[in-house]
Amino acid sequence: MPSGSPFAKLPGGLPPGRLIEPDEDYADDPTWSGHDAIWVSDEQVPDVARLWRRLYASRAETGLYPLLLEGLDGEPDRPWHVGELGPAPVGTIDVLTAGGVLRRFWDAIAPDDEDEEDPFPGLPDGRWAGLADPGEGTRDPDGAALELVEVLASVKGWLLGLVPAARGADALTLAGWDGPCNHTNHTQEISAVLRSWEDRFGVRVVSVGFATLQVSVAAPPVTYDHALRVAAEHHAFCPDNIWQGEGSAEEYAKGLVGADRWSFWWD
């Protein structure tokens, strides 16, 4: 492998796997043609939690961030093995702010009709109220991530992915994941919000599916009022969590109090 490749330090002891190039039919940026975006195991990995732990610990040395991956039900090769990916450079995240992204998302899903019910009656006039305050937890974010990996690995099988990224938030954009395409075609917007959550709530990206995402949370909200503000961010980030989940902001916010993981699904 060329020394200049971002996968030049691919560690030993990996299960059978392959480097994946984005399919030219999916990659918006033609400069990614012929360039690998992600390494993915060929099959679900036995004892994946142990391997994830080792790879996560060595990520600063290798430059590769590990992810638990799953494919689409009925079509497990999508999106990873078939290269259904549209990577973008990390600079496309750098120019964004979480507050700006979430405000745009919020405005896009706000009710058009004044007679429509306000989905967030606990916030002033349904307006975007800005970013929630940081959490106050004292847990180690990396330890929280490892605990979630253990839980997830105990209930189902996972592919393993490695992305040349300095942090989990960036890995989604650099890998070219397009799970939220029905909400935004720009995964860098998702990454910008996740960067902020990493800083404010000790979030770590752990697992990624065709249109799903799970993150560990080391410093979740511990009061209902704080959780409601965080719920507003989640509503802008992934409205299906409420629209097709709890159905109300109040119930959704209650579930965020003290929660050590956040899960998202885009229809």
The pLDDT tens digits of the residues spanning 19-73 come to 999 998 776 666 666 789 999 999 999 999 999 999 999 999 999 999 999 999 9
DSSP SS3 for 216: strand
Region 2-9: mean pLDDT is 80
DSSP SS3 for 241: helix
Q: Note the Cα 56 to chain centre separation in Å.
A: 16
Region 203-219: mean pLDDT is 98
Which pLDDT score is estimated for 133? 97
Which pLDDT score is estimated for 122? 56
Which pLDDT score is estimated for 245? 74
Nearest-10 Cα torsion for 81, 86, 92, 94: -20
The verdict on pTM exceeding 0.85 is yes
Contact 109, 236 (CB under 8 A): yes
Q: What is the pLDDT of residues 99-128, one digit of tens each?
A: 999 999 999 988 765 555 656 655 655 678
In whole angstroms, give the CA distance from residue 229 to residue 221: 9
pLDDT greater than 60 at residue 254:
yes
Who contacts 238 (Cβ-Cβ below 8 Å, separation ≥6)? Answer: 180, 183, 264, 265, 266
- State percent of the chain over pLDDT 70: 90
Which pLDDT score is estimated for 248? 84
Write down the residue that tokens 């395409």 correspond to. Answer: 181
Domain range summary for the chain, segments of one domain joined by +: 17-96+130-265
Who contacts 161 (Cβ-Cβ below 8 Å, separation ≥6)? Answer: 38, 39, 40, 41, 66, 67, 68, 69, 80, 175, 208
Which pLDDT score is estimated for 125? 58
Write down the residue that tokens 């330090």 correspond to. Answer: 9
pLDDT band at residue 154 under the 50/70/90 scheme: very high
> How deeply is 77 buried, as exposed, middle or buried, from its count of CB atoms within 10 A (0-12, 13-18, 19+)?
exposed
DSSP SS3 for 264: strand
Which pLDDT score is estimated for 117? 60
